[in-house]
Chains A and B, each alone.
Chain A
Amino acid sequence: MELFVFVVAALMVLGGALGVITRSNPVHAALSLVLTLFGIAVMFVSQNAQFLAAVQVIVYAGAIVVLFLFVIMLLGVDESEDINVEPITGQRPLALVIGVGVMGIIIAAVVASKDMIGHRGDGIDTPTLESADANIRQLARHIFSNNVFAFELTSVLLLVAVIGTVLMARRVKSTGAGK
């Protein structure tokens, strides 16, 4: 059963990812991205990260992809891009070599170190019928005790990002008109 879930989620992830890089229409690419993000959420659930799966669906598939689609519609760039143009000669083969190379190095590292994956650390609480929110409780305990400073810093980061974006996207009034 777990194998079945893994295979289906992996097909969703890889199919969506290939869709993102091959579809010429940005709207289709964004919708393929949703497929990938849902596949990742399924994998989070199957690895006992229930809270993160919910956040993944809400934040990524909900907010971020909607933001992407919003910008696509706002700018009117949803006409198909000609993906047969190759601006630099030999760019695609070179990119393929680099991409496959990075992938190969990571896979080699994973295969070489697979015996080192074992039971260490504090353990992860799995939800049961008695405590269905075990994952959220444990995550909250760690975020608000050991990592509370980092948590506060992320709030500063979000504030800076919002203010910066508003400043940047604001239409600057033409200078000289004021005088």
Chain B
Amino acid sequence: MLSAIQPTTSWYLILAAVLFGIGAFGVMVRRNPLVMFMCIELMLNAVNLTFVSLATGLTDINGQVVVFFVMVVAAAEVVVGLGIIVAIMRRRNGVTADDLTALKG
């Protein structure tokens, strides 16, 4: 009875939307720059899941090709972002995102 229900593409898309919402909420709420970065990864993964689901739903392999490129860009983004965080943290210890007010008017 229960095995008759098959998850459709829409289920995956809705799950990706929930994951994206959680990631967006985390970026806005958390103060540790590293954890904010992890939340950005959550949102990137939600987008990847959307691409793969639609590739399956529309039977088009190009959705998976895009995810391949997104992963490369995400890896580069993490490297640069963590480099910036290391450079900031080395100067000032135990800093949160709220303490970086050098550009405040």
Give the B-binding residues of A (Cβ under 8 A).
1-3, 6, 10, 13-14, 17-18, 20-21, 26, 29-30, 33, 36-37, 40, 43-44, 47-49, 51-52, 55-56, 59-60, 63-64, 67-68, 71-72, 74-75, 77, 79, 81, 83, 85, 87, 91-92, 94-96, 98-100, 102-103, 106-107, 110-111, 114, 117-125, 135, 138-139, 142-143, 146-147, 150-151, 154, 157-158, 160-162, 164-165, 168-169
B residues contacting the other copy or chain, number (CB 8 A): 75
Alpha-carbon gap, A56 to B12, bound state (A)? 17
Given contacts A77-B34, A87-B98, could you give 12 more A-B pairs where the C-beta distance is less than 8 Å? Answer: A3-B7, A6-B7, A17-B22, A20-B26, A55-B68, A55-B71, A95-B28, A99-B25, A106-B21, A138-B61, A142-B62, A169-B86
B:1-51 near A, CB below 8 Å:
2-3, 5-15, 17-26, 28-32, 34-35, 37-39, 41-42, 45, 48-49
Task: Check A14 against B18 for contact (C-beta < 8 Å).
Answer: yes
Task: Check A10 against B56 for contact (C-beta < 8 Å).
Answer: no
Task: Check B17 against A21 for contact (C-beta < 8 Å).
Answer: no
Residues on B with beta carbons closer than 8 Å to the beta carbon of A2: 6-7
With A44-B52, A99-B21 in contact, is A169–B83 under 8 Å at CB?
yes
Task: Check A77 against B32 for contact (C-beta < 8 Å).
Answer: yes
Contact of B24 among A6, A81, A98, A169 (CB under 8 A): A98
Contact of A92 among B10, B17, B29 (CB under 8 A): B29
Task: Check A147 against B65 for contact (C-beta < 8 Å).
Answer: yes
Residues on A with beta carbons closer than 8 Å to the beta carbon of B5: 3
Alpha-carbon gap, A10 to B75, bound state (A)? 24
Task: Check A139 against B61 for contact (C-beta < 8 Å).
Answer: yes
Task: Check B31 against A85 for contact (C-beta < 8 Å).
Answer: yes
Residues on B with beta carbons closer than 8 Å to the beta carbon of A100: 21, 25
Query: Residue of A at shortest CB range from B77?
Result: A161
Alpha-carbon gap, A75 to B69, bound state (A)? 30
Give the A-binding residues of B (Cβ under 8 A).
2-3, 5-15, 17-26, 28-32, 34-35, 37-39, 41-42, 45, 48-49, 52-62, 64-65, 67-69, 71-80, 82-87, 89-90, 94, 96, 98
Q: Is the contact region of chain B dominated by helix, strand, or loop, or is it mixed?
A: helix
Contact of B18 among A6, A103, A121 (CB under 8 A): A103
Task: Check A71 against B86 for contact (C-beta < 8 Å).
Answer: yes
